[in-house]
Structure 1
Amino acid sequence: MLETLLIRSRATPSEPPRRRGATSLGPERDRFGVLKGVLAAVPWLQVGLGAVIVLLAALVPWGTGKVLSAMDQQILAVDVKGEFIGDSRVAIARAAGNWIGKSYFATDLSDIKASLERRPWVESAAVQRVWPDRLVIDIREKKPLAYWTDGRLVSRTGELFAPPNPEVAGKLPRLAGPDGRVRDVIEMAQTMSEKLVARGLGFAGLSLEHRGAWTLQLANGIEVVLGRDQVEERFERFITVYENRLAARSDEVSRVDARYTNGVAVKWKAAEAAAGPKS
């Protein structure tokens, strides 16, 4: 019994005392192992390539600017292309001469384009560079369709313009009316012209008054009054009467008034001469 108690009460030996100045290397080794693992997980090849790409992206604009500066020349010549009626190749080249001596690369082509398209006859201008010192300008002029009120011209696209030399457009029909209704006048004129030409008659002009009345002018000098209402029906009635009754005596007709319900009123040149002042 005594022996058993002694065994149970025997003290557990304690850890041997550490020597002064000694340290444990276990935790440090663990920290270095974690760091090595992190470094090993980093894709260094991709990081390096990314850094190179960023560097090149920063250097390309700088290098491009240096190359362009070295290659830049002065504009020494301008070539003008296009078919001209109202404007001229020489005048366009002279206008573009303001850019002679300017920087080949720094010159804004949109400025040249805008400047040329302000000319009355120019519908569009295309400008391009030709290395090393040349500009090529392609001009498209407005195509005049008819003379308009006050001596202006109306183009085939329905644009009104006032060049200093409208007479160069040559012999064209004469249209008239409020500026805001130019397209209405063109549409009506085209419809009537097609029907007249199909019957061997020439179209000379069409006018629309502010109050809405239409008056047609034929190439043979006959004036046809159509009024404001039922214009198309009145025009068809005139065509019918002309073909049946007036064609053979067209050189004697001065004016036809189609503003009647069942017919037309004809004014003869002989009657005009008889009603004129006598000497």
Structure 2
Amino acid sequence: MLESLLIRSRAVPPDPPRRRGATSLEPERDRFGVFAAVLAAIPWLQVGMGAVIVLLAALVPWGTGKVLGAMDQQILAVDVKGEFIGDSRVAIERAAGNWIGKSYFATDLSEIKTFLEQRPWVESAAVRRVWPDRLEIDIREKKPLAYWRDGRLVSRTGEVFSPANPEVAGRLPHLAGPDERVRDVIQMARTLSERLVEHGLGLAGLALEERGAWTLKLGNGIEVVLGRDQVEERFERFITVYETRLVARSEEVSRVDARYTNGVAVQWKAVEPASSPRS
């Protein structure tokens, strides 16, 4: 007899139905995990400090501007210092008076400096603020060394300038030559002047012609032609002749030409004829 065995097996539940368009949750968990790891790796303390520093750096100029704006006042006075020969303290104060009433902090000091240094006598100008409402200006004038041609002056630094009042420089030598060779003229004048002083003479003038010839004028009025070549040798020859032959009659000498090889040519002053006695 065949027996029918009924095998009862545990039913396996079918897969739950998926909603259309649904995705698995595992990839989402992975992404959140990576994001959390990235956040955990960020040094939040350093980031926070950096943000604070950036914020403060942005606020400092703003705050400084506000403070300076609250403290700012108008310029009410100008003080001028310096030793003056050609310019004057009053004239400098008047020129700088253009800035009276302007902002103490916003005024450009370099603008004032440039403006004042355009004055013929001004070598340099130092400008500074004096709290709360003043400017202090220190002027250094050009030191004239000699008169230059065409009524100008030349400074000790070799700058030729044209003030309106060159005569205030007083008694100075008269130098002349091309403007581009002013330093050569100064150097030659200094060299000859030192030698003249050794012999009790003074330098009243020195001229350099366009073609390069030198002419010297002594303090006693004698003119010495030195020419273009061997200038120092010719000068020494003149000194020798002057000391041995001319010093006793220097008042009679008008001009000495030292361009000769073995001596000098002397031009004497014209002798005024004696006036006839009146009858």
Q: Give the TM-score normalised by the residue count of structure 1.
A: 0.87
Q: Which residue is 2:173 aligned to?
A: 173
Q: Deviations over 1:151-184 (max 9, x none)?
A: 1101111111111111110000011112222111
Q: Report deviation, 1:19.
A: 5.1
- Aligned-pair identity (%): 81
**1:49-198 alignment to 2 at 5 Å?**
49-198=49-198
**1:278–1:212 CA distance, 2 compared to 1 (3 A):** farther
- Matched residues in 2 for 1:163 and 1:180: separation? 19
Q: Is residue 214 from structure 1 mapped to residue 214 from structure 2 by the alignment?
A: yes
Per the alignment, do residues 191 and 21 of structure 1 end up closer, same or farther by CA in structure 2, a change over 3 Å counting? same
Aligned residue pairs, count: 264
1:34-45 equivalences under 5 Å are 34-45=34-45
Distance in 1 (CA, whole Å) between partners of 2:211 and 2:183 is 17
| AA in 2 matched with 1:135 | L
One-letter identity of the residue aligned with 1:103:
S
Structure 2: distance between partners of 1:247 and 1:131: 65
Query: How far apart are 1:209 and its partner, in Å?
Result: 1.8
**Which digits, 9 at most, give the CA deviation of each residue in 1:74-108, with x for residues without a partner?**
00111111111100111101110110000011111
1:106-152: CA deviations, max 9, x gaps? 11111111110111100111111111111111111000000011111
| 2:239 is equivalent to residue 239 of structure 1 | yes
2:275 maps to 1:273: no
Tell me how far 1:242 sits from its aligned partner: 1.0
Q: How far off is 1:65 after superposition?
A: 1.1
CA distance in 2, matches of 1:217, 1:65: 65
Matches of 1:21 and 1:182, distance apart in 2: 104
Question: CA separation in 2, counterparts of 1:147 and 1:15?
Answer: 124
Q: CA offsets per residue over residues 13-66 of structure 1, 9 Å max, x none?
A: 997544568998766554443333222111111111111112112211111111
User: Whose helix fraction is larger, Structure 1's or Structure 2's?
Assistant: 1
Alignment partners' CA distance in 1, 2:169 and 2:110: 29
Aligned partner of 2:152: which letter? R
In structure 2, relative to structure 1, the CA distance for the partners of 1:143 and 1:14 (3 Å cut) is farther
Q: Secondary structure at the match of 2:138?
A: strand
Indicate the SS of the match to 1:53.
helix
Change beyond 3 A, Cα 1:18–1:155 = same
User: Residues 18, 164 of structure 1: CA spacing in aligned structure 2 closer, same or farther, 3 A cutoff?
Assistant: same
The one-character-per-residue Cα deviations of 1:223-251 (angstroms, maximum 9, x if unpaired) are: 11112222221111001111222122222
Pair 1:32–1:89, CA change in 2 (3 A): same
Distance 1:267 1:50, change over 3 A: same
Aligned partner letter, 1:179: D
In 2, the alpha carbon distance for the partners of 1:206 and 1:31 equals: 96
Structure 1: runs of 5+ lacking an equivalent: 1-12
Mark the CA change 1:177 to 1:26 in structure 2 (over 3 Å): closer, same or farther: closer
Aligned alpha-carbon RMSD (Å): 2.4
Structure 2 CA distance for aligned equivalents of residues 41 and 197 of structure 1: 88
Distance 1:14 1:80 in 2: 112
